[in-house]
A and B are shown apart, each in its own frame.
Chain A
Amino acid sequence: MKRFPQKATLPALAFAAFIGLAGCVKKTFDTEVKRILTEEYSMTEEQAMVGVGGALRYRFMTERDGKLEFNYHSLKLEDVLSKQRDMKQSLQDILNPNDAETRRFVDLFNQRAHFEREEQKVDYRIDRFSLVLTYDKFVRLMKSQRRGNDSVGITNPYPQGLTDLDIMFAGTNLARLLQFTAKYVDDAKAGNRLNQIENLVMSVQYEEEEPNPDYPQVDPNNATRWVQRSRALRIMSFDCDTQPDHRADYIEVYRIGADGTPEANPAIKVFKSQGSSTLDVAVLDRNPANQRGHGTPDDVESLSFIERGSELYDSRRDLLESLFKTPEVERRQLPKEAPIEAEIVRVGELGQQEFQISTDGWSCPLEYRVGNNYSLWVKFKDEESHDHANPRPREIEYVAKRYFVPGSSSDVQARVVEFYRVKPEFAQRVRLVTVNNETKMLEIVREGEAAQKGMDSLFLERDRNDLVTPFRIDYDSGNLRISLLDRDRNPEPLYEAKAEMSRPHTLNLRNDARTE
């Protein structure tokens, strides 16, 4: 008789049941051994059943003094760890904040805290097993050993004779048992021969997109949000030889905190394996100082062609950048629930709502000015009717400064544009404006008057502190384009209004001036 749906009616658990119904009979070790013995070795059904038992005994037990004992090294450590990861995955599935159905199940019976605790337990075991496995890999790489492929029926002793139980037992001091180090480095340290031959700092600043915790209940418009980040690393290379040859034998890489101090433990250590001429074994610690697991390696990688620390920066940037990836668990955030409402608005009842108003004022968080890295764009006020044959004098609506990356023609990253008003005495009845983007000079020719020429600041409106300030600043932020607006210019130069629109692919900025 085939197996019937077994697991649960809770949808999250019902899947196994469906597989059982819909699919063919599951192929297990049991059924497969039986099939092979009957089909390929012509055994009877009864013999094959006994054969299955024999197969189980030979694989998982050893005989000692006529008694059968379980062999806890009959499975690879990788497989034991991978099972723990499966359990973690089950918990992540059920705690997945974006799966509305499991979220309702978990919350209906108020189980979130319980599952989170279960996840912690599994995390603990994953950490422990990973560490042992990482160490196993480290030892092999340091001896330049590869693991054979055929592991069937072979025991796979774990480092230091550990079994799963020893590893799960918190009383077993794994950090002491498993030392990720090399004798030549220890000796050099002990003999005060760790000579620093290179020491450099790399730093990066970037915007990173991350899931928006308000999406979709509170803010259905933005599934992600942009966050500013800035990171730095110190890379040090050491010569460990008794006769210093100024060649690196050992590298340490440290994360540098926001306050400029490096962490206590290296994030990467790079060793030379037995007989290797290059630095070929890297030990990585992905957890930053404020996180659990800092000081315990997470990964071992083999490197090629690395002879000093700076070469990591040149050829293994990926490895260095991987040190900044926050482990995923830390980022689980429950969507905020908005109350269910009913909002009915008839057409015509909607007022003007372009701006978000802040009495404290909005400010632009960007640094984009490097000297005079802008070009000038002048716009006349639009007119109802414009006679091309007989143009009338015009009024200047604004002068814009569009910022570019110094030494190039491309916009600064956030494509910042500042808009300035022109002093009233220069703004009216204008016939011609000429700009010079090299000198930042403006020339304004007004109806019936001599041309006036000077630095742009001469013509631009000043605030009450007598400073030339824009009345509007536009810039990109994530997938938005922001406009900050000072609409009254009085009493303070304060951007009280903010408008947001979707980030356009190209900036459309008009220029009514002639360019020299």
Chain B
Amino acid sequence: MRKKLGALILAAVPALGIAYFPRSHAQDGQDAQAAAQSNVPHYLRHISSPSNEVDQIIEEAKVLDAYHGRFGTSTFINGNITLEHQIHGKNVTFVFHNYVQQGEQVRYGANGFTMLSQAEFAAVTSDIVTTLERAAQEAYNDHSNVSRRIIEIQEVHLKRNKRLGENEKLEDLLDQPIPDYPGLTIADGLNIPRLTVTDFVPTQLHFGPLPRSILGVTYLNSEVVGYHPLARQIDFVNGGPNVLKHELVHNCRKLQGIPYAFEFDAEFHASMVEQDNGLWFLRHPYLEDARSLAKVLFRFDAKRALENAIPMQLMLGSPIRRDLLEDYVVKIRQIRTEIRRTYLDDFLPEFYTHHAFWTAVNEDLNDGNGAFKIFMWSKYEPTLLQGAQNTSRWMQQNRQIIEDASRQALRNIENEQPAEGGIVMALRALPKEEREALISFASTLGIQAQDLGPALRVLERLADSGALNRLGRLR
């Protein structure tokens, strides 16, 4: 999983960046020494962390400008300085990419070579270690009520349905084994993520460059996280390790392990722990559903807000309407808090309480965020049509039409999905022999019309993996 910069940033003209890029490392001598003394790691020198959110937006852009063209990748993991350190009681291997010990000094090779003193490098390690410590703690804090809430809600449900006696406590049963399923407990059967802070701590943290516009990356289930120096700078500007926290949510395999990460919008979830400046909300692709919900439920139109705040994209840089943006960021903060609290405090417990149901709902709606959208609609009244009263009245008046459209939409996604990109196309894309083999395979299984749903999905998966192999080679 990776976090990307918005498209705007990538599209900007790289030549400009290069024009004033070399400056950052050309400065040495007194500057470096002064910085080392004040314990600031070399990549944070000269960067400010403003408290005003619009100033954050502007400073973040300056940092990005200074980085144009600098996305690359380390060739080998080997040969970098590594460090073992305990984070919240868990052993973590830190790999400092392109930092190499050379005699008394450390050679840093991001763009040409720079020599750092031991003290300067110590500032680097201490910064990364404390940043990870803080990010893990904050990511966990955001989820610290989830397990308890799930158990509470499940207990109420199971008691109401008489599956659990009035005096029984679900909590006490969770570690009991399930007969016939060696190694599985009742908690496993219920799929309750019982979280601790260490679940968010990776076993390897790679501090180093990443390709294209990727700021952070997590290999699902592997507890291996990559964190770009540029992401560290952006996090510094915005006053908190947002990018790293995002990755640590991916890192938590109880929440986002395989196969669960495929069954909901894992990026949306990971983005919920971020508290970066308002511009991210206005344009980051992972937050598109948040913008939609904000519009229909909270009447905040992010698209128009962005157009108003940055009216033109000019090649020489875009003007910000500061007065407007100052107003928007306040509203955005309010909206984001509302959405993130609902997601983390209320939605996640509900999602895991009825995990089998909600993951099937996402499938049914062909939408990884379907369950969350439903949840938001169960908590908030829409306001988009001139306020809550009017909107509610309009909904009632149009109920019949809406239900008709709903039925039709369901048929369409059921029927047309195969024709458009699903199984039929996937089957067609297969070589003749494979295709025939699949079809005859299905018939030997005695698959009947009413069972075709699951069969199609199986075929789709098979077809997917073939397509994956073909596409994989292109990369």
Contacts and interface: CB of A to CB of B under 8 A. Distances in A.
A118 B258 contact: yes
A275 interface: no
Nearest to B411: A152
Nearest to A55: B406
Nearest to A114: B221
Contact of B364 (A9, A11, A79): A79
Contact of B377 (A5, A57, A89, A170): A57
Interface in B375-414: 377-378, 382, 384-385, 391, 394-395, 398-399, 401-403, 405-413
Interface in A52-105: 52-61, 68, 70, 72, 75, 78-91, 93-94, 99, 101, 105
B161 A82 contact: no
A41 interface: yes
Contact of A58 (B295, B364, B399): B399
B366 A29 contact: yes
A94 B218 CA distance: 17
Nearest to B356: A164
Contact of B360 (A53, A83, A99, A122): A83
A33 B406 contact: yes
A191 interface: no
B472 A169 contact: no
How many chain B residues sit at the interface, stated as a range, is: 35 or more
Interface in B402-442: 402-403, 405-413, 416-417, 420-421
Given A30-B367, A152-B407, A14 B220 contact: no
Given A49-B295, A85-B454, A15 B467 contact: yes
A206 interface: no
B35 interface: no
Nearest to B373: A56
Interface stretch (B103-111, B139-147, B175-183, B311-319): B175-183
B377 A120 contact: no
B209 to A, nearest CB: 14
B164 interface: yes
A504 interface: no
A68 to B, nearest CB: 5
A121 B409 contact: no
Contacts of A172: 163
Interface stretch (A19-27, A181-189, A344-352, A470-478): A19-27
A37 interface: yes
Contacts of A87: 259-260, 262-263, 359
Interface in B175-233: 176, 178-181, 183-184, 186, 188-191, 214, 217-224
B454 A12 contact: no
A63 to B, nearest CB: 11
B231 to A, nearest CB: 15
A115 B221 CA distance: 9
Interface string A156-200: 000001011111111110000000000000000000000000000
Interface string A6-17: 111111111110
A8 B258 CA distance: 12
Interface residues of A, number: 100
A384 to B, nearest CB: 51
Contact of B189 (A26, A117, A169): A169
Interface stretch (B26-34, B49-57, B330-338, B457-465): B457-465
A207 B364 CA distance: 44
Given A70-B354, A167-B356, A28 B398 contact: no
B267 interface: yes
B63 interface: no
B458 A164 contact: no
Given A117-B183, A118-B259, A124-B189, A171 B409 contact: no
Nearest to A161: B161
Interface centre among B218, B258, B465 (most CB of A within 10 A): B258
Contacts of A12: 468
A491 B186 CA distance: 66
A75 B161 contact: no
29 contacts: A1-B285, A7-B262, A8-B219, A26-B366, A27-B412, A27-B417, A30-B365, A36-B408, A37-B401, A37-B402, A47-B398, A50-B382, A50-B384, A55-B406, A70-B350, A70-B378, A75-B360, A75-B364, A90-B461, A114-B253, A118-B258, A129-B356, A165-B154, A165-B357, A166-B163, A168-B355, A169-B158, A171-B164, A171-B186
4 smallest CB-CB distances across A and B, nearest first, come from A90-B259, A55-B406, A32-B409, A29-B365
Interface of A: 1-16, 18-19, 23-24, 26-30, 32-33, 36-37, 40-41, 46-47, 49-61, 68, 70, 72, 75, 78-91, 93-94, 99, 101, 105, 108-109, 111, 114-115, 117-118, 120-125, 128-129, 147, 152-153, 161, 163-172, 292-293
Given A7-B266, A36-B412, A84-B356, 13 more contacts: A4-B4, A8-B219, A9-B214, A26-B366, A52-B296, A55-B403, A79-B360, A91-B258, A93-B461, A152-B410, A171-B164, A171-B173, A292-B180
